[in-house]
Structure 1
């Protein structure tokens, strides 16, 4: 049975690296919404994947690197990553990124 709604009290957070955790908020095979929490100084290590990713900075500030270009982004900013480009972040303050992936990242399930 498909769930149309995601409630905060049902959110399951998984630690993915020191100071960094994620929660799958909503998902279908063609799309996924994921929250990433970062402590100050935490790193989202450089990586790539075959999914298109759009990220929204809901809280905090980050140095974001996409395909070798680094930009400092604060609350309300966003960035997009084409498939297979190397990207990563460094949290300059405690922060929250909201990421959308298409198609779904099955490795997060």
Structure 2
């Protein structure tokens, strides 16, 4: 199991860098794991380091593979299914302060 905060069954997150207005997180997903549809005020960019995801955003569904990225605008519903063991970088603007609190509690 990767270090960090368990977000869902088979999904973990580690905050890597936090600035005044943005943050970068590393996320590990087991094959078949799901992050259900959700929305938040934060603009999000997901970059796939390895593996692949079925990404649902707004009314689109697409597969992202290693080396590909996607931007999700603020308040647009989105969710993912890991098609294989996958690792991504998620960047959020503004900072997701709830992620700071969760990680502090996991230490």
TM-score w.r.t. structure 2 length? 0.89
Q: CA–CA distance in 2 between the matches of 1:71 and 1:48?
A: 18
Q: Superposed, which structure 2 residues align to 1:22-101 within 5 Å?
A: 22-101=13-92
Larger radius of gyration: 1
Q: 2:7 aligns with which of 3, 6, 16?
A: 16
* Distance (whole Å) between structure 1 residues aligned to residue 91 and residue 28 of structure 2: 15
CA–CA distance in 1 between the matches of 2:97 and 2:25?
12
Gaps of 5+ in 2: 101-107
Q: What SS does structure 1 have at the residue aligned with 2:87?
A: strand
Unaligned runs of 5+ residues in structure 1 are: 1-10
Quick check: 1:12–1:24 contact (8 Å CA) kept in 2? no
What is the root-mean-square deviation of aligned Cα atoms in Å? Answer: 1.2
Deviation readout 1:5-29 (Å, 9 max, x if unpaired): xxxxxx9511111100000001023
- Residue by residue, what CA displacement relative to the aligned partner does 1:7-62 show, whole Å, maximum 9, x if unpaired? xxxx9511111100000001023000001100000001111000111110001011
State whether residues 32 and 81 of structure 2, in contact with CA within 8 Å, keep that contact through their aligned partners in structure 1: yes
Shift of 1:91: 0.2
Name segments (4+ residues, structure 1) moved above 2 Å. Answer: none
Q: Quick one: distance in 2 between partners of 1:80 and 1:64?
A: 11
SS of the residue 2:56 aligns to: strand
